[in-house]
Structure 1
């Protein structure tokens, strides 16, 4: 495997130069690290434990510009000894960095040349890994499309191929989320949010502003699904995420994907009130979110209901009605939630009945009113 070969090069270089060596990829994620040669500092220990270089230890923007071995000065406040960093480039494309601890600036010219040769060999391997990853990503995207959108027969074939190709290791438990941003490419945010997950436990589609992520594993993926959604919400303002209900087996992922799409539609319709919607917690919206906007025609609703809805979702009468209906008609509870006197609530309910022509003591009228205000929040009707 590519990583094993990079590890071998790092260990051989460390043995020849008698100092610790580490290899990062272009985003400072650790690829390989030699055994400790007695020169480790707190920064290296942290890097090995967390599988990445601490962001505060280096200026990544400056590192990406270097084209030759460069000395990084010590920083006692960070527990960072001086280092030599050698860029790993393949045909001028930066793929990573080779790090050598050089506290006393004792590396000779010959040793630096040796380090550059090792970096060049690593560059070939990391380039090969990129090709494999690009192929795997393309294959994964194709198989996810078939898993979610194709016929039952094609879905079964996609399940078999995902498992046989090793793209998914175990599909005992499966979860799906869909993330979308109106203006920004979300792919980088998705990969950063998922990079801590075990290998062969997640896949993502290749869209730009909308990405589907599938998580799978031997144990429940429910918490991992929510953690991933929370990370996306924190890292990319304006993103909206819909979560499907966790299920079992890749064959059931198409239902989870549909649920995630419904949840995403709901959270986008609700605007700034939320960034993440979990299908299992949507309540009535699990059903209402499936109703296309063009199915509900306001022209064929009772005129009183239309007049009520024309007040707009921010109007105090509509808000009071929604809270009243959410409280199952409990007026005391409703008044408490609205922070108004009960007589004020009674007056508002009377006005609602006058405008709409509905009888809020009637179960059918109450159901109609509840559906109307919830659909209004989703941008339907009108």
Structure 2
């Protein structure tokens, strides 16, 4: 559906010659399209910039537009500019289906289009496309069934998983390229009023998370999954996300969920992979995540945060004293002293390859939630 919505937005931008943005009724960004102006630049204002970068609009922005009555609009509307707030005038095409407003299609057209000109063929075509977007968004209600089946497929009994497998296959097809996204909530848990993304389920357990099933446009192209993860994180400050390897059909979701959930755990502690980590990019973190706990041999090291950080930096740098000293901002003599202390504390020789692997994996495992 995401690709279909993008097609709608692209075509509306082409028809009306203006940048277009599609948001749902919660002002969550669903799709956008730029359109070059005659001077080669693209119309932007503060609202559009924040919407694109943050995958949605701020509450104050939402209130400002809703106070204009847009939720009740049934035909194109011209919204005014507010220069003090950095807001340009917009053409709004309400996105409706079944008598309900489901979203808003905005165009930064500079005031060129008359919303009351029913004889304008470009506007009429754009209104028809907005109606198509409404039908697509109405179809998101069907994603609730997919979410329920996903929850059963990941956490249900054997019989429940088999039923869920049949439901998902019937809904999605056995050859549809898919990926799973794991959203790991911030320490305080999911905030009140937070809405699940389409085709999502809360997976309870020792480390609760939200699973989102994402249909891919092409096998192996994980960009839709990464976009879904980024959009969800914009509404979950402090959360992290992980993306599984792509799958063909819903036959192997449990394994894909393990991948996505592991990637989300890694993203929570590895800044270089945050905020959205992909399983295919985890490298040695996979080994660390597979350990049930750090090896007892490194317990004395874990009791000394400075020594633990030194050892991990040294191993991250493949044993390079020069690189480790630079990362830690310490003199080489200080580093040599610390390495000696590490050996004295643990009895482990970091010059040994097997020992390096054990210590490195254990230190990383200790940081994982």
Regarding TM over 0.5, the answer is yes
Aligned to 1:370: 360
Which one of the candidate residues 343, 346, 353 is aligned to 2:336? 346
- Which of these residues, 189, 197, 204, is aligned with residue 190 of structure 1? 197
| Partner in structure 1 of residue 210 of structure 2 | 211
Are 1:311 and 2:304 matched, yes or no?
A: yes
- The alpha-carbon distance between structure 1 residues 339 and 332, as it changes in their structure 2 partners (threshold 3 A), is same
CA displacement 1:156-178 (0-9 Å, x = unmatched) = 553443343xx426744221101
| Structure-2 separation of matches of 1:58 and 1:235 | 17
1:122-141, aligned counterparts within 5 Å? 134=141, 136-141=142-147
Instruction: Report how far residue 207 of structure 1 moved.
Output: 7.4
Q: Kindly indicate whether the alpha-carbon contact (under 8 Å) linking 1:175 and 1:221 is maintained by their aligned counterparts in 2.
A: no
Alignment partners' CA distance in 2, 1:169 and 1:185: 34
Task: Specify whether residues 57 and 105 from structure 1 end up closer, same or farther in structure 2 by C-alpha distance, changes over 3 A only.
Answer: farther
Q: Which runs of 5+ in 2 are unaligned?
A: 1-22, 31-42, 44-55, 107-111, 119-130
Summarize deviations over 1:210-230 as a string: whole Å, max 9, x none: 431112244433122222223
1:190 partner SS: coil
Q: 1:148 aligned to 128, 148, 154, which one?
A: 154
Structure 1 length-normalised TM: 0.57
1:326 aligned to 296, 316, 331, which one?
A: 316
1:370 offset after TM fit, Å? Answer: 2.2
Give distance in 2, aligned partners of 1:258 and 1:204: 16
Cα deviation for residue 310 of structure 1 reads 0.8
Equivalence map 1:11-30=2 (5 Å):
26=25
Q: How many Å separate the matches in 1 of 2:267 and 2:194?
A: 20
**Alpha-carbon deviations, 1:256-307, whole Å to 9, x = none?**
1111112223333559983222222222322322444xx55x8xx34xx433
Q: Tell me if the contact between 1:270 and 1:378 (Cα under 8 Å) persists in the aligned partners.
A: no
* TM-score when normalising by structure 2: 0.58
Report deviation, 1:358.
Answer: 2.1
Name the larger-Rg structure: 1
Contact 1:88 1:98 in 2 (8 A): no
CA 1:262–1:251 in structure 2 vs 1: closer, same or farther (change >3 Å)?
same
Question: What is the CA distance between 1:251 and its match in structure 2?
Answer: 0.8
Q: CA RMSD in A?
A: 4.9
- Displacement of 1:87 in angstroms is 12
CA 1:328–1:186: 2 relative to 1, 3 Å: farther
